[in-house]
Each structure stands twice: as structure tokens, then as C-alpha cells.
A and B are shown apart, each in its own frame.
Chain A
Amino acid sequence: MEWIDGTSLNAENAFKVRLSIRTALGDKAYVWDTNEEYLFRAMVAFSMRKVPSREATEISHVLLCNVTQRVSFWFVVTDPSRNHTLPAVEVQSAIRMNRNRINNAFFLNDRTLEFLRIPSTLAPPMDPSVPIWIIVFGVIFCIVIVATALLVLSGIRHRRRNNKGLPGLDDAEDKCENTITVENGIPCDPLDTKGGHINDGFLTEDERLTPL
């Protein structure tokens, strides 16, 4: 194919396209031949026809050039008179609008079908109205608060019951755990309740001797 006016490859209205078919499809990669080029030209013409002032664009107005093994090539869109090329801005916005359709026609995506100098619109990440982390945080926060409240309340109730049940006990008693510690076969509790006046560490004789 030859360019009209002898416009060189660096014409500002021409765009380079690069396809990475093998990267995208692996074993199912198709061969890039003239039929695929025809489809491409059709897709570009389709995109241009969607622009309000360019409904008359035909496939023959899209010209490809310099197809390499890569696969990469340059393309340019001319106006119906075949004298001028359409301005780059128009082509750019047309391609951007229909990028998804063009990609799908070739089973490729924005990365494997690149239009150099035509930036693609990136999909925004999903943004739920309430961030998920706040929900998880709220759940765990509530569980912890409830568990803490339960423990504190049960501790207060336990202490009040102790106070009611055994008045006159030393305050320190309430802060000990309920596990009755056993040393030398004597539970430790009785060792403390007498306020230190009686030392139960010394057994009375009849308790030491086994009863007959």
C-alpha cells in the first residue's frame, strides 16, 4: 500500500498499532493475514462512522502500511476525497470510544492490542459506598466490646456475691482467682481467712493421724 501525497511514516495523523497475539492466546493464536487486516480496517471505519460528521467513512478510506512480523503496522484514515488524512484528534477520540469493541473483535485486550499515542481509559477499581474494612472492623469491635462488658460485669457480680456471702473477708480475697491452690494437701484458703492469727500450717494431732 502506498501513502497518498507521499506522506511519510511520521505523519502526525498516522498511528502505530502493535498486536501481541501469541502472548494473549498462546496455542490458540491465529495467524495475522490480509483477512485480519481487512477486519481491522473495518473496525476502524466503524469507529469513525460513529463520529457525527464522519458517517460516510468507508473501509477503503483506512490505509495500513508497513506490516511487520511483530505484528505491528501503521494506519491512517483519509477523507472521502482521498486527498487529506483525518486529524489525529478525531481518530484518537473515535478509537477510544470504541476500544472495547475493537479489542473484542480480535480476542485481545488493551495491553495486547496497543495503539501507540492513544491512551486507554483505565477501569476504575470497584468502590463500594461503605468500605469493606469498616464493616469487618465494626463486627470485630462489637464482639470485643460485648465480651469485655460481659467479663467486667460478671466480675462485679461475683465480687458482690462474695461480699454478701462472706462478710468480713479481707478485700484481698476478692482479687484472687477461684482456683483453690493446694499445697501439702491443705487448701490455701483456710490459711488466710483467720487473718493470720491461727496458722493452719501446723496441723492438730488428731488430723495427722489416720482415724481408726
Chain B
Amino acid sequence: MEKTRPQWGNPLQFVFACISYAVGLGNVWRFPYLCQMFGGGSFLVPYIIMLIVEGMPLLYLELAVGQRMRQGSIGAWRTISPYLSGVGVASVVVSFFLSMYYNVINAWGFWYLFHSFQDPLPWSVCPLNGNRTGYDEECERASSTQYFWYRKTLNISPSIQENGGVQWEPALCLTLAWLMVYLCILRGTESTGKVVYFTASLPYCVLLIYLIRGLTLHGATNGLVYMFTPKMEQLANPKAWINAATQIFFSLGLGFGSLIAFASYNEPSNNCQKHAIIVSIINSSTSIFASIVTFSIYGFKATFNYENCLNKVILLLTNSFDLEDGFLTASNLEEVKDYLASTYPSKYSEVFPHIRNCSLESELNTAVQGTGLAFIVYTEAIKNMEVSQLWSVLYFFMLLMLGMGSMLGNTAAILTPLTDSKVISSYLPKEAISGLVCLVNCAIGMLFTMEAGNYWFDIFNDYAATLSLLLIVLVETIAVCYVYGLKRFESDLQVMTGHALNWYWKAMWAFVSPVLIVGLFIFYLSDYILTGTLQYQAWDATQGQLVTKDYPPYALAVIGLLVASSTMCIPLVALGTFIRNRLKTGGTASVA
């Protein structure tokens, strides 16, 4: 007897769910950084090649497995081979870690969104110091956007050892974020299916509005030209290819079990090949689209800062030499400087050390990724736009949509195996299971609202998923091709969907993708080993900038635990199943 499995209301909900899950914050804050670091327009070459060679085949594989097995990750892999249900367990563990820390980003998004309803924006001005004669010290040394992020939002401590207490403001926002997630996943696919219409499409609306606004900003073309000018020599850099492969891999969200969970709610006859291609192309196009927006914003910010710097130099020279106000402009600056150097050499040499060399290039070169890009660089650009409250609200609303969409996928990856399991679902209704998962995650997530929370966030962000996912997807590919059998899977798909499996997919699954993943795995492992001790960036309030520090031993232990707890699931569960089978069969036959 097969209980009726919940299904998507229509295939469009499934596609939107996958898009909403795959298109996340990484498209906005990681891809532009990679593009900038690895040769601008020429980065698109390795990116598209990796998309075709690695992204589409692996995405299709996961969707096909989910649609065929019609169960969450644990059940699906158990069906393929009982020894491999550890892969499913590892996926659930990694998804659990991810949902723990990912929702903190949504909490920060809420915080900034709520603060966008003020005039002026709180991150555009520094607060005053004690006697109101100047601005707060830390804010002067850093910038007002950095101050708002590090001091007002995070209230960050100088190092990971100093924990501080739980900050009530981020804690409130985190609670709200989890409530919102619970609201969306409460009814399973019925509610999720409706929510993903919004979380998938609204970010595009906002991105489009931002594109139009961004392209009309003063100086936007500087950023765009800088980004898209291809630097062909980067094609020879192996790091460019590795980063392209990594970006495609993680951007699609492979290995978490979310895609398997989503596909398991499909009708068996669904054409998941078409959907896999559509989702991966949309994901990559969104990355490129978002980077156009990001680079026009970069260009605007860099031009603004460059012009500010020039104005400061002009003011300095005007004041030192008592030139007429308005005489010095950006165009005659150089010649006037030469004139002054020759006419008043002694005075000029006094002033000279204070004259900063303003360069548009160096402003554009500041490549930032991650939370720094989203919450510091973008807010800096927004505060200089007209009607900045509107742009701020739009922007953080978009970030929230992107983050929520990915969270829906993460929680689906955890909940689907739980609700599939007959043991758990017989005791508790679906709402209670979802509620429990959200509650546990929220409670643990309070760790990230402490003063040192951002350092722990970085640990989770960098180490919780990277190595484990590579291993999981590798085992998945090998399991489907060699344990289950590629021919058997092929015939299953043919029966299920009615289409024959193209030779291209077979070649990719059997040879190319596993080799690529092994290559990535080796690279990361050797990178971790070679760097020796791991380091992190800590915020130094006295200097107003980030400094590098070493992780203390217990933090390294946590990192090891994170990686081990998910990767060890695979061999441990296999071993457990093996022992259990031996006990069952060998109990009657042999004496131990």
C-alpha cells in the first residue's frame, strides 16, 4: 500500500521551487566577486563550460533520483542500496547545519529592512561622541556603513574567544525569521508551492528595477567596463577553473537533499530533464544578471568615492595655499599641482604627504564578497542615491526573498525524510514536526546572535558544507551509475518519463562529473592541509578594520567535528547496515 504522496499543484510550482532554492544569496554576492577576481568577461568561459559539463548533469541526476524514488534523501538512497542510506543521512545533517546558520542572514536582512524606514538612513551618518563635538571614534576610523554593520548590527567582539552575551535585537529578528519560515513550510507542498511563486519571481522584479536604476547612476559605466573587459590570461589560471566549478556546484545546491525532496513530490511522468536544463540555465543567467547590477553599483560607488577623494585633495590645496574658492577643479588639478610645486616648493613639500593619490582603478579593485558585499558595500552605494529609503527597502526585501527561498529548500531537505519516516509521522502531525525543527534550529541559532556570533557564522559558512557536499555528490553519482547500475536507472527513467536517456547524460554521469568532483575534492583537501593553521578575520574596533587571527584549538575542534559529523555518516551507516544484516542472517547460521 502506498500512501498518497503530496504533490505540487502544477509543474510550474516545482520549477519555481527549484529556481527559488537555487537562486540564492550566492548568486548576488559570490559570483560578482569571482567574476572580478578571475578576469571579468573571460570568467564566463570556464563558468559556462562547467555549467554544461558539471551543473546540468548533476542537477538532472538529483531530480531524476528524487522523482524516481519518490522519497526524501534517506529513503531514496536506501532504495538504491541499503548500505548507502548514509548518504541520505549525511545530506540531512549538512542541511541541518546549513539551515542553522543560513537563517541568521535573513535575520540580518530583517534588521536592515526595519531600519530602512528612517530618515536619514542610520548607516549613512556616524553617531556623535560624548561631548557632541565630533563623531564616534570607531566610526571615524572605519566608515559609517562598516560601523553600523560591525557595531550596531553585530556588536562584534574583538575575537572569537570573547563570547559576550546573546544580543536581544538580532535574537528577535532571528525569531521572526524562523516564524516566517515555519509559516511557509507549515502545510508542506501546499503552502510551499504558493510561497515559491513569490520568492522566485519577486527578486527578479527588484533586480530589474535595480538594473534600470543602476545603469542610470553616475559612474555606472565605469564599473561595467571594468568588469566585462576580459583579461584573457586568467583563462590559464587553474584557480579560475576550480572556482568556476565550485561556484556552479554550490550555487545549484547539489547534495543537500533539497532537490531530491522537491522532485519526490513530482508526478512520475514529469519531464525532469527539461526542468533540469531550465533551472540550471536560469540560475546561471541570474548570476550574470545580478553581477551586471552589482557592477553598475560598484561603478557608482567607486566614482562617488573617487570624486570625494578628489574633492578632499582640492579642499586641502585650496586651504593650504589660500587659493580662490572654486578655482581648483578636477580638470586643472594636475597642472595647478605642478605650478604650486614649482612656485612654493617648501610649503608644497609640507602638504604633499597628506595628498592622497586618488585612483578610480583602486576604488574599483576593492573586491568584496559575502556579507561584506551585501551589508557594507551595497548600503554604502544606496545611502548616496536619491530617495535612499526606497532603494534600501527594495534591496533588503529582495535579499529576504532570496534567502527565504533557499531556506524553504533547506527545510524541505530536513523535513521530507522525517515525514517520510513512518515512525515519526505516526506520532506527530506534519505541523508539529516542522514546528519542532524550526524551534530547535532557532534555539541553536541564538549562538550566532552573541557578540562573537559572526565568527562562528564564518566557521559554519566556510566549513560546514564544502567538503561534505563534494563527498556526498561523488558517492551519489557513483551509487547511481555503478551500484544501482546505469542501465537499470536508464530503463527506469524511460518507463517513468517516456523519453530515452541521451548519451550525453550517460557519459557525464559515468565519467566526467565524478572525475571533476574528485579533482575538486583533492584540491580543497590539499589546500586545507597546506595552509596549516586556519585563520579568520576579526574586527579591531581600535583600528577600525579587520585583522587576521588564528583560530583557538576548540574552534578548530568544532570545524573538525562539523566536517566529520556529516562525512562519517556514510561509512558509519554502511557499517551499521552491514553488521545488522550479518546479525540477522548470520545469527541463525553461524556462531559468532
* A interface footprint on B24-60 (CB within 8 Å = 1, 0 otherwise): 0000000000000000000000000000000000000
- Judged by a CB distance under 8 angstroms, whether A80 is at the interface is no
- Judged by a CB distance under 8 angstroms, whether A195 is at the interface is yes
Neighbouring A residues of B324 by C-beta, 8 Å: 69-70
Neighbouring B residues of A21 by C-beta, 8 Å: 325
Q: Which positions 88-130 of chain B face chain A at CB distance < 8 Å?
A: 110-111, 113-115, 117-118, 120, 125, 127-128
Give complex CA distance A28, B198 in Å.
51
Cβ B1 vs Cβ A196 within 8 A: yes
Neighbouring B residues of A137 by C-beta, 8 Å: 110, 114, 172-173, 176
Neighbouring B residues of A119 by C-beta, 8 Å: 133-134
**Residue B128 contacts which of A69, A124, A134, A177 (CB distance < 8 angstroms)?**
A124
Give complex CA distance A173, B190 in Å.
15
Give complex CA distance A151, B324 in Å.
70
Chain A nearest CB: distance from B71 CB in Å?
A: 14
- Judged by a CB distance under 8 angstroms, whether B468 is at the interface is no
Cβ A173 vs Cβ B125 within 8 A: no
Shortest Cβ distance from B179 into A: residue: A144
Give complex CA distance A175, B186 in Å.
12
Stretch at the interface among B215-223, B280-288, B404-412, B423-431: B423-431
- Judged by a CB distance under 8 angstroms, whether B527 is at the interface is no
* B interface footprint on A172-206 (CB within 8 Å = 1, 0 otherwise): 11111111010100001101100110000000000
Neighbouring A residues of B335 by C-beta, 8 Å: none
- Judged by a CB distance under 8 angstroms, whether B188 is at the interface is yes
Give complex CA distance A35, B326 in Å.
22
- Judged by a CB distance under 8 angstroms, whether A105 is at the interface is no
**Residue A188 contacts which of B4, B120, B172, B326 (CB distance < 8 angstroms)?**
B4
Give complex CA distance A70, B1 in Å.
92
Neighbouring A residues of B6 by C-beta, 8 Å: 175-177, 179
Neighbouring A residues of B118 by C-beta, 8 Å: 132-133
Give complex CA distance A165, B190 in Å.
22
- Judged by a CB distance under 8 angstroms, whether B386 is at the interface is no
Give complex CA distance A32, B181 in Å.
64
Cβ A175 vs Cβ B429 within 8 A: yes
> Which B residues contact A (CB, under 8 angstroms)?
1-7, 9, 110-111, 113-115, 117-118, 120, 125, 127-128, 132-135, 172-173, 176, 179-180, 182-183, 186-191, 267, 318-319, 322-326, 419, 425-426, 429-431
A-B contact pairs, 28 of them (CB 8 A): A20-B325, A23-B326, A70-B324, A70-B325, A71-B325, A72-B322, A121-B133, A122-B128, A122-B133, A122-B135, A132-B114, A133-B117, A133-B118, A136-B113, A137-B110, A141-B176, A148-B183, A151-B191, A155-B186, A172-B425, A174-B429, A175-B419, A177-B7, A179-B190, A181-B267, A189-B4, A191-B4, A195-B1
